[in-house]
Structure 1
Amino acid sequence: MNGFMYRNGRWEEAMDGRRKQVTNPATMEAVGSVPIASREDVALAVDAASEAFPAWSARPAAERSSLLYRAYEELIKSRDEVAEILTLEQGKPLSESKGEVQFAAEFLRWYSEEAKRNYGEMIPASVPNKRIMVIHQPIGVVGAITPWNFPVSMVTRKLAPALAAGCTVVLKPADSTPLSAVLLFQIFDRAGFPPGVANLVTGRGSVVGAEFMENPKVKKITFTGSTEVGKTLIRDSAQQVKKLSLELGGHAPFIICDDADLETAVDACLISKFRNAGQTCICANRIYVHHSIMSSFSEKLAERTGQLKLGAGLDPDVQIGPLIDEQALEKVDLQVQDAVTKGARIVIGGKRWKGEGLAGAFYEPTVLSHVDKTMKICSEETFGPVAPLIVFSTEEEVLQQANGIDYGLAAYVFTQDLGRSFRIAEGLEYGVIGVNDAAPSVAQAPFGGWKESGTGREGGQYGLAAFMEVKYISLGIG
């Protein structure tokens, strides 16, 4: 599939004609190609978005709602096509890709409804001859930068609320996974969005990000990616005091108390840890297990982990796909080696994997026991299929360990004690908490992190507010 950029309602090449090949991470074979945007290409897309903003922001919310719902319907109809491209360029199993496309569609549906709920307020005045009003207005042109691990749902999670709010958008998808974004923009085109409202540029993050940051027409940047890049964006945004929403790295603690339902906890741990080969920002990174159940939990988790099948994502039996590239594989392997050197034991897995006819970066689903905080895997985001088990004895101890790092995106606790559920959930310094729930992300709820895991929220009414400016109007009535 050869994709193009989408600018002002037209499909275009880069001005200098350069293109980048996209490869399947399972086989390392070419899947297609996309243009490599220059600064000038990005600036033209920003110009188109800026010119389209006045008319789009003035449209009645009901009209924006109708277009978003039409895009939802088109995406549902195209689910299988989008899912297949997603698997080919990203590597995850096809069943997971179909689930992601459905999740992506839910953001379009939710914000087609939320577009009509941009409420203001009247505040009682201090004197009888004044009235105080508060209204919310769209911020303007948005530069959106999305990651490779969820290349469809992360696009709609940003674009749907921005468009619903009345903003216009220029999207830069991840270099590794741009083709699914191209298909999404074909859907936006078929849905009938006016030219310039939604624009797509493909290319290097350093080039596109620099134009977003330095171009005064871009009023806000929304970014999902590493904490390191997020800090760079924060520094650079100071020149124009540019608004930012940042969903950054995570290192989720997964706490299993002594009264947890063991089968439920094992099932949940498998889902959280090994979905997308562990390449999710909210997956279990540190699995804290009460000492009284560690032996039985470890045994059951290892047994289930050993049943997972690796391979290319289009194989219907495959449950674990490849890591995104060789660099990601090397990072996972080094973390496991570091842990073993410092006393961890490999319960199952623990090495690279090569399947017949597959040249991709595969790593065996792995369970480590006897893990402690001196190991890199307890402080550095893994982004791979490795489950490190850490023993604990008390609530106070596990909360201290869980909160003892700079990340604060998602955390999990499994217990059947209602009081304990509240104590631990309220004590965790994280933005998203799953209590007996390994999959807490939904379109209608706020998603975002504390500490170095980011600023702002996506999802629900909070996601719409992220693309609005608040205006206070004081009206004298004589």
Structure 2
Amino acid sequence: MNDLSIRASVGFEPAKEVFAGQHLIDGAWVDSASGATFERVSPSHGVVVSRCAEGGEAEANAAIVAARTAFDSGVWSRISGKERAAVLLKVADLIEANVERITLQEVLESGKPIAQARGEVSGAADHWRYAASLARGVHGDSHDTLGADMVAMVLKQPIGVVSIITPWNFPFWILSQKLPYALAAGCTCVVKPSEMTPASTVMLGELLIEAGLPAGVCNIVLGYGDPVGSVMSTHKDVDMVSFTGSTRVGKLISKVAADTLKKVALELGGKNAQVIFPDADLDEAADAVVFGTYFNVGQCCNGSSRIIVHKDIAEDFVARVVALSRDVRFGDPMDEATQVGAIVTAAHNAQIHKHVQAAQAAGAKLALGGGPLVVDGLSDQFYQPTVLIDVSADMGAAQDEIFGPVLSVMTFDSLEEAVALANGTDYGLSAGVWSSNMHTCLEFSRRAEAGTVWTNTWMDGYPEVTFGGAKQSGQGREIGRYGFEEFFEVKSVVMRVGEKSRARWVTKET
């Protein structure tokens, strides 16, 4: 691996003051009743970077009560869209004013490169601004052809209290794909960030208060899925759960939420494929494949962990991907030039390696990488850029979400075979197709079983364009108008407006 561009430590020393996080419940910052706390050790630097209150059932219940009380009072749910939008716009401005502070803590907790984290934090403000615009445009339907004395309306009303449970890989960004849209709809919320990346959510809570969000409208409980996430998924006063994370946990949430028939929106795992046809711009496609594989160290549900390449160009294309992979800058996340940082935990690093070893045992071959990566002066939680070739559709490398910097290469002869291979997993989050023939791109896009299909690009996203998965990649949608609609209940109101009374059902005998 000596030919890799490895960025070692740039002399950064984590702050001596460890970030301290508390729960935000009914507008107040509080410690846990038990006094329990938990720590997060930087995956890159091996030192404690945050120490937070560890919530339990008491804190989760208190937060839900606060959200329920705030919703029922109408302090947020019944004010005008204009008033809600004004607060959301203030939050967007405050995010931009605090980008560097939030970015630093997110880098320390997650291990992602500082340039990437900065882009995510600053870019998240756009979600808040777009959600603010949606808050002012909520409308239903009216029916004025039901007769001279009747009129009916279909209203859209906020669904109520929403539990928002977010993951560690994009803690600030994914929260901003959920929370502003829920607030724009008039909902109140309880948020639980991952125990591995709690700080940026706490910082956002500070900005919400500064922006003037009423007490109890957004509550934050720190801690672990059991018990905090469990209470948030089962409590009778929660009307909806919005969860991003693994398919395994998403299925569990669906099961436990069924007892109260609360709405569940899930954004789960993926085993996303990019399909490359011979007439594609191969240089552009190779660069996009490398980006999709190593972005966020491959710890991305939307990452392109599979490529399906036409046999006529497979050898040439893989060579391009391997050559580019050697130039990707792995190393210290605090270095502005670093493109790929650390794996989130040592256990996950080991799990990635087990997947790679299993693929080799099943007959796949290594074109690059295949083991842990040593970066002088940093922790041992780095993994080499890895490319597996000779992967068949039945291998774990083609089916399982490895969630690391590992690319599996498969080949095809025809469009029919490419579609079958792309759809041949339990997942259906994203897919991509590369061809200069728009007919090919459209045919594949229509037939791909995925919530998002990119053609001649990868992972471009906008607040206006909705996101979500098919099959076991989830249910419901986030962002865009479709994501906004998830936070409403639809109510029909039928009104008699004429003076004529309706025909009586019970009549007296004469």
TM range, smaller chain: over 0.9
Paired with 1:297 and 1:66, the residues of 2 have a C-alpha distance of 50
**Amino acid corresponding to residue 122 of structure 2 in structure 1:** Q
Structure 2 residue aligned with 1:47: 65
1:411·1:432 contact (CA, 8 Å) conserved in 2?
A: yes
> Are residue 207 (structure 1) and residue 227 (structure 2) matched?
yes
> Are residue 148 (structure 1) and residue 168 (structure 2) matched?
yes
1:27·1:360 contact (CA, 8 Å) conserved in 2?
A: no
1:125·1:132 contact (CA, 8 Å) conserved in 2?
A: no
Instruction: Report % sequence identity.
Output: 35
Paired with 2:228 and 2:380, the residues of 1 have a C-alpha distance of 28
**Amino acid corresponding to residue 439 of structure 1 in structure 2:** M
- In the TM superposition, residue 343 of structure 1 has moved relative to its aligned partner by 2.2
> Are residue 296 (structure 1) and residue 302 (structure 2) matched?
no
Q: 2:273 aligns with which of 213, 230, 253?
A: 253
**Amino acid corresponding to residue 58 of structure 2 in structure 1:** E
CA, structure 1 residues 360+164, in 2 after alignment: closer, same or farther (shift >3 Å)? farther
- In the TM superposition, residue 124 of structure 1 has moved relative to its aligned partner by 4.6
Paired with 2:444 and 2:202, the residues of 1 have a C-alpha distance of 43
Query: Structure 2: any 5+ residue segments left out of the alignment?
Result: 1-18, 499-510
1:433·1:440 contact (CA, 8 Å) conserved in 2?
A: no
> Are residue 38 (structure 1) and residue 63 (structure 2) matched?
no
- In the TM superposition, residue 129 of structure 1 has moved relative to its aligned partner by 2.4
Q: How many residues align?
A: 478
> Are residue 440 (structure 1) and residue 460 (structure 2) matched?
yes
**Amino acid corresponding to residue 77 of structure 1 in structure 2:** A
Write out aligned runs for 1:50-449 (5 A).
50-53=68-71, 54-449=74-469
2:331·2:375 contact (CA, 8 Å) conserved in 1?
A: yes
Paired with 1:96 and 1:308, the residues of 2 have a C-alpha distance of 14
**Amino acid corresponding to residue 175 of structure 2 in structure 1:** V
Structure 2 residue aligned with 1:24: 42
1:8·1:48 contact (CA, 8 Å) conserved in 2?
A: yes
Structure 1 residues 189-247: Cα deviation after superposition (integer angstroms, max 9, x where no partner): 11111111111100011211221233211111100011111111111112110111111
Which entry has the higher C-alpha Rg, 1 or 2? 2
2:427 aligns to what SS in structure 1? coil
2:338 aligns to what SS in structure 1? coil
1:325·1:360 contact (CA, 8 Å) conserved in 2?
A: no
Paired with 1:45 and 1:415, the residues of 2 have a C-alpha distance of 51
- In the TM superposition, residue 441 of structure 1 has moved relative to its aligned partner by 2.4
- In the TM superposition, residue 440 of structure 1 has moved relative to its aligned partner by 2.9
- In the TM superposition, residue 458 of structure 1 has moved relative to its aligned partner by 0.4
- In the TM superposition, residue 374 of structure 1 has moved relative to its aligned partner by 2.8
2:393·2:424 contact (CA, 8 Å) conserved in 1?
A: no
Structure 1 residues 347-401: Cα deviation after superposition (integer angstroms, max 9, x where no partner): 1111111211222411001112211123211111011001111111110001011
CA, structure 1 residues 464+20, in 2 after alignment: closer, same or farther (shift >3 Å)? same
1:91·1:323 contact (CA, 8 Å) conserved in 2?
A: yes
Paired with 1:310 and 1:440, the residues of 2 have a C-alpha distance of 23
Paired with 2:252 and 2:272, the residues of 1 have a C-alpha distance of 23
1:252·1:286 contact (CA, 8 Å) conserved in 2?
A: yes
1:122·1:134 contact (CA, 8 Å) conserved in 2?
A: yes
Q: Please, what is the CA RMSD of the aligned residues?
A: 1.1
- In the TM superposition, residue 102 of structure 1 has moved relative to its aligned partner by 2.4
Paired with 1:442 and 1:101, the residues of 2 have a C-alpha distance of 15
Paired with 1:414 and 1:240, the residues of 2 have a C-alpha distance of 45
